[in-house]
Amino acid sequence: MSFPADFLWGAATAAYQVEGAWNEDGKAPSIWDEFVRIPGKTFEGTTGDIAADHYHRYKEDVQLMAEMGLKSYRFSISWPRVLPEGDGAVNEQGIEFYSNLINELLTNDIIPFVTLYHWDLPQALQDEFGGWESRQCIDAFETFARLCFERFGDRVHHWITFNEPIIFQTFGYATEAHPPAKRDPFLLYQVSHYVNLAHARAVLAYREMGNKGEIGLTHVSQPCYAYTNSDEDKEATWWAESFGFHWYYDPILKGEYPAEYRKAIEAQYGKLDITDDDLSLLKSARSDFIGINYYQPARIAANNQQAERTADRESNTSAAGTPSFCGRYRTVLDTDQFEYTRWSWEICPDALHDAMKRIHARYGDIPIYITENGLGDEDLVVNDEILDEPRIDYIRRHLLACQQAIEEGIKLKGYYAWSWIDLLSWLNGYKKQYGFVYVDRDNKLKRIKKQSYFWYQDIIATNGESL
Ligand code: BGP
């Protein structure tokens, strides 16, 4: 049997995308609650105000998980729900919601895997000191993290500090597609360092508080491949890989920044505020595991036209075929050679296998969780049945890649499909579906099990044998 007996067969969501109840029971607005209200920023102006209404229906949702046999559920805690001002008074009603959810999961033998930051920064902190642009945010995050460890650490033993720093930072500070919608590459790099420090402080706090579980961080994993063998495409790929992989993974897993790349970006944008004490802090806080979110690889070419990435929603939501924010490279869309989803995301299970090998080669025997992987599609509905065969095919092929990695000795400990249920896609509204469970938005958000629900149920029951 290639999947270990304790392999975590899971599925994931994130607070803003699933909960709704955006202004209930003492919750304050996050930067997303404000951003979605700016005209033109999201698909047809969709918001997470109601989302899948998981906040009110979590019991029903957990029952569906239990019936499926789900081993673990990854979800995030909304920071402004538990600390409305970011670091001030605790909102006990918010704490109660997560406490109840955790208890409900445990009663049903489902292991909670909790993300602290899935992009919904309290608006109060953005207003007060520019959010992640300030070192003050590091202290605020530590306060939030400690609160969560204190209240939930007795029952939650798997923690992710941040979800996909590269996305909220690039979109937030270089392409204007996410809040705070700025275009300032220097800030992007500075923010990335402050977030790394916040991660490190949370890791140390977790250990110092005597918790027994594991703590890590989730990065995007998008292996880059030169589109052609030309020197200029290879050089472009060095830039893409240095930014997308080494700049983000090295500080978390090696406690340092890639030197050559740092030199190059500081020459271009200016000297970053990174002190020796900061670097010692990073070194002292190696993660217990790395979470990877994998959707697609990137085919990289030189950006000969010197085109700039634009701020429009479309070019930020289908990643292939756009120039990078820094203008040094672009991604290539080639429908003759590669297979794509409806949103032009390349389907390539081999690159998932390759991603794990690259991590293993650079950082050694670090345990890995695939914390997101899945197919965004518009599902076929026939007589109230959701026939999402393409999703089954997508997940099956990616799970085979996982199986191969495990057989080769990679310490892969779990797989979380994105997503558990149909939820808000940040920039594509409810049109782009990922879930095992359909949410009928025309019929009081009724839950309907998709074909993939039953398929995954069987995969879990056989521990992957029926793949
Ligand atoms: C990841 C995020 C998720 C989810 C997923 C799908 O980047 O961590 O929150 O949204 O991507 O993205 P999208 O909804 O844009 O298709």
User: Which residues does 429 contact at the CB level (< 8 Å), separation at least 6?
Assistant: 42, 43, 44, 46
Average of pLDDT values for 245-254? 98
> What local confidence, expressed as pLDDT, does residue 308 receive?
67
pLDDT of residue 323: 77
CA-to-CA dists, residue 452 to 143, 220, 371, 447, 455, angstroms: 40, 24, 18, 14, 5
What is residue 304's predicted lDDT score, i.e. its pLDDT? Answer: 80
| pLDDT score at 2 | 86
Task: Report whether residue 178 contacts ligand 1, using a CB cutoff of 6 Å.
Answer: no
Note the pLDDT of residue 326: 78
Q: Check if 256 is active-site.
A: no
Concatenating the DSSP letter of every residue in 218-234 gives EEE---EEESSS-HHHH
**Would residue 71 count as lying in a domain?**
yes
Q: pLDDT tens digits for 188-214?
A: 999 999 999 999 999 999 999 999 999
Beta bridge mates, 409: none
Return the structure tokens found at 134. 């300030």
| Cβ of residue 48 lying under 6 Å from some atom of ligand 1 | no
pLDDT, tens digit (0-9, with 9 covering 90-100), for 53-83: 999 999 999 999 999 999 999 999 999 999 9
Residues 301/233, Cβ–Cβ less than 8 Å: yes
With contact defined as beta carbons under 8 Å apart, do 40 and 103 qualify?
no
Q: What is the pLDDT of residues 266-317, one digit of tens each?
A: 999 999 999 999 999 999 999 999 999 999 999 999 988 766 666 666 666 6
Residue 172 and residue 181 in contact, taking contact as beta carbons nearer than 8 Å = yes
**Ligand 1 centroid to 425 CA: how many Å?**
6
pLDDT score of 216 more than 80: yes
CA distance 332 to 307: 13
Rounded Cα–Cα distance for residues 164 and 205 (Å): 21
Average pLDDT for the chain? 95
372, 375, 420: which to mutate for ligand 1, most atoms within 8 A of CB?
Answer: 372
Name the helix (H) or strand (E) containing 163.
Answer: strand 158-163
Provide the CA 124 distance to its chain's centre, in angstroms: 23
CA of 230 to the centre of ligand 1 (A): 32
Ligand 1 pocket test target in 418, 420, 421, 433 with most atoms within 8 Å of CB = 418
For 110-156, the pLDDT digits (tens) are: 999 999 999 999 999 999 999 999 999 999 999 999 999 999 999 99
Ligand 1 neighbour 293 (Cβ under 6 A): yes
Number of domains in the chain: 1
Please say whether the beta carbons of 152 and 102 come within 8 A.
yes
Residues 153-165, mean pLDDT to the nearest whole number = 98
pLDDT confidence of residue 317: 67
Whether the CB of 372 sits within 6 Å of ligand 1: yes
Q: Are 83 and 54 in contact (CB under 8 A)?
A: no
Cβ pair 294, 223 in contact under 8 A:
no
Closest ligand 1 atom, residue 163 Cα: 8
In a domain, 2, yes or no: no
In a domain, 34, yes or no: yes
Cα 229 to ligand 1 centroid, rounded to whole Å: 31
What is residue 45's predicted lDDT score, i.e. its pLDDT? Answer: 93
- Looking at the predicted structure, is the pLDDT value of residue 238 above 80? yes
User: What per-residue confidence (pLDDT) applies to 1?
Assistant: 59
Residue 466 lies in a domain: no
16 and 120 in contact (C-beta within 8 Å)? yes
What was the pLDDT predicted at 215? 98
When comparing pLDDT for 384 and 92, which is higher? 92
Cα–Cα distances in Å, from 56 out to 22, 84, 443?
12, 19, 16
Which atom of ligand 1 lies at the shortest distance from residue 424's CA? 14
Task: Report if pTM > 0.75.
Answer: yes
437 forms bridges with which residues in the sheet?
Answer: 421, 449
Residue 464 has pLDDT above 90, yes or no: yes
Q: Residue 388 and residue 232: Cα distance in Å, rounded?
A: 41
What span, in angstroms and rounded, lies between the C-alpha atoms of 69 and 281?
40
- Distance from residue 320's CA to the centre of ligand 1 (Å): 15
Answer whether residue 178 is part of any domain. Answer: yes
% of residues, the chain, pLDDT over 70: 97
Residue 378 is among the residues annotated as catalytic for this protein: no
pLDDT tens-digit series, residues 217-226 = 999 999 999 9
166 domain-assigned: yes
Domain assignment present for 433: yes
CATH number of the domain at 412, please.
3.20.20.80
When pLDDT is averaged across residues 330-339 and rounded to a whole number, the result is: 94
State mean pLDDT over 405-425. Answer: 97
Region label for 255, one of left (φ > 0), alpha (ψ between -120 and 50) or beta (otherwise): left
Residue range(s) defining the domain that contains residue 238 = 8-461
Is 3 a member of any domain? no
How many Cβ atoms are within 10 Å of 377's Cβ, its own excluded? Answer: 18
The span from the CA of 182 to the CA of 168, in Å, is 11
